[in-house]
Amino acid sequence: MTSYILNVTDFLLAGKRPDRLALRLVHQEHSYGELQRVVEAVARYLVGIGGQKGERVILVSDNSLFWVASYLGVLRAGLVCVPLPTGISPEDLDYILEITEARFAFLQASVAAKSRDLFRQIPIITDTDLLRLPSVVPTLASAERLRYASRSDPPLPLVGPSDLAALMFTSGSTGRPRGVMVSHANIMANTESILQYLDLTENDRIMAVLPFHYCFGTSLLHTHLRVGASLVIGSNFVYPEVVLQRMLDAECTGFAGVPSHFQLLLRNSSLRKKRFPHLRYVQQAGGHLAPAYLRELQEALPHTRIFVMYGQTEGTSRLSYLPPDLLEKKLGSIGKGIPGVRLRVLNESGGEVSQGEVGEIVAEGENVAQGYWRVPAESAVSFRNGMLYTGDHATVDHEGFIYIVGRAKDFVKCGGKRVSCRQLEEQLLEFEGLLEAAVVGMPDDILGEAVKAFIVPRTSDSKGLAARILRFCKERLPPQLVPREIVVLDALPKNTAGKVLKQDLRSL
């Protein structure tokens, strides 16, 4: 990490050539020089209207210049950014506004129009205000207008590595979202670590379909801005063919996605028929991509380096990666800790597991976040002695490579034996007629829990599919693990980051 750079914004933007392309949207392009000017305007505007270091700022927007400039401007002003999805429920938004005591809000105009009542007296800046910030002043309280009018060019505060940069909200064990406290040092350390193994340069162009409010999406922004590369954004993944065409037109060198993105591309798009001569690397994280899909991805992109990675919001973003040249040999593994991160699998006694023994993944490094915002009980469980207890259960092979078994809560207890839903889903996805599969437990008088499977067919013709899947499972699984019930869906419920919502499946 560069010692003289103390904050994320300078870390990402300092020293960049102003004429180089930073963001490529569908109808617009923005250079590093333009991005730097708008970020500076946002930062000085916030300080000028009375924003104090450490105060929280809500950010709700799709990926855009507005999102990037607001995020980096908030961080440079020393305030704390709270990025949220545009589809957040009014209940969750109201709770987050209350617990963060937000001082300002940067909202996409469409979000502001439908959510303004929830923000009460909080000053709102929309994307239409971005390039004419002083015109927002009349919407503020009179005292704030006076403060702004008295400061023509307010100095920006000194922001240090230990200062809080963002609250990244995730689902909590109580059902309410919890904010992961990420510092400037966390982001800078994780970014430098990721760059060490991806070998990105200023000539790279990433197709960014992941939302920036999600830590995986944010990490793409951090890494590519850090090296002076560009991001191609703005395509909705509802239309995968449009995404593929944009990748070709923009000569993208990289693509990043969660399992649902790759499942859709491999079994419901023209990916296999196209050639991507510039595509140098692919990043897969945000959940487990079954070995069947990884094999298909290798076949579809034989000349592209495929990085399988594992991470958590509590670890800022990435925690481990599997080198592409080991993908076939270590199929199903998440690899080892990324540079600067010590990743171990510990048993209940706190010792490292032996080969084949199941334990919890524990991470240690400068990327481990500061805890959960104002939820001390949950912080005490996950953050202990400077280490992150991930809640993910795994085994380790004889060479130290880690294989996740499943989340602590993502198991089915059949006949007194705990079975990973993840492993059952892998088995189901070996059936080529499936696009997606998810497994949950259902009450059973004899076994305690029985397997219930939700499947999404590859084509619209699902006649007889459940019966074929049942026969497939009977050939491969012990009798007690054969699904008691198979439900065919058009799609699995997912959040804005593309992750399957199993709590929604359980409520069906």
Please give the CATH architecture assigned to the domain spanning 183-407: 3-Layer(aba) Sandwich (3.40)
Strands 342-346 and 383-384: unpaired
Least confident of 52-66, 237-251, 374-388, 430-444: 430-444
Name the most confidently modeled range: 152-156, 191-195, 355-359, 502-506: 191-195
Domains in the chain: boundaries:
8-160, 183-407, 411-507
Return the closest-CA partner of residue 422 out of 408, 402, 439: 439
In this model, does residue 144 exceed pLDDT 50? no
The pLDDT, as a whole number, for residue 152 is: 59
In this model, does residue 449 exceed pLDDT 50? yes
The pLDDT, as a whole number, for residue 131 is: 60
User: Which residues in 249-280 are b (16+ Cβ under 10 Å) and which e?
Assistant: ebebbbbbbbbbbbbbbbbebebeeeebeebb
The pLDDT, as a whole number, for residue 136 is: 36
Question: 411-507 has which CATH code?
Answer: 3.30.300.30
Dihedral sign computed on CA atoms, order 429, 435, 438, 442:
negative
Return the closest-CA partner of residue 360 out of 310, 394, 333: 394
Superfamily of domain 8-160: ANL, N-terminal domain (3.40.50.12780)
Using alpha carbons, list the distances in angstroms from residue 245 to 1, 253, 271, 293. 37, 13, 10, 22
Phi then psi dihedrals of residue 412, to 5 deg: -110, 130
Q: What is the mean pLDDT of residues 192-200?
A: 96
First to last CA, the chain: 48
How confident is the model over 106-142, as pLDDT tens digits? 999 999 988 888 887 899 999 888 766 543 333 434 3
One fold for 8-160 and 411-507: no
The pLDDT, as a whole number, for residue 299 is: 96
Count of other CB atoms within 10 angstroms of residue 433 = 15
For the question of whether the overall pTM of this predicted structure is more than 0.95, the answer is no
The pLDDT, as a whole number, for residue 314 is: 97
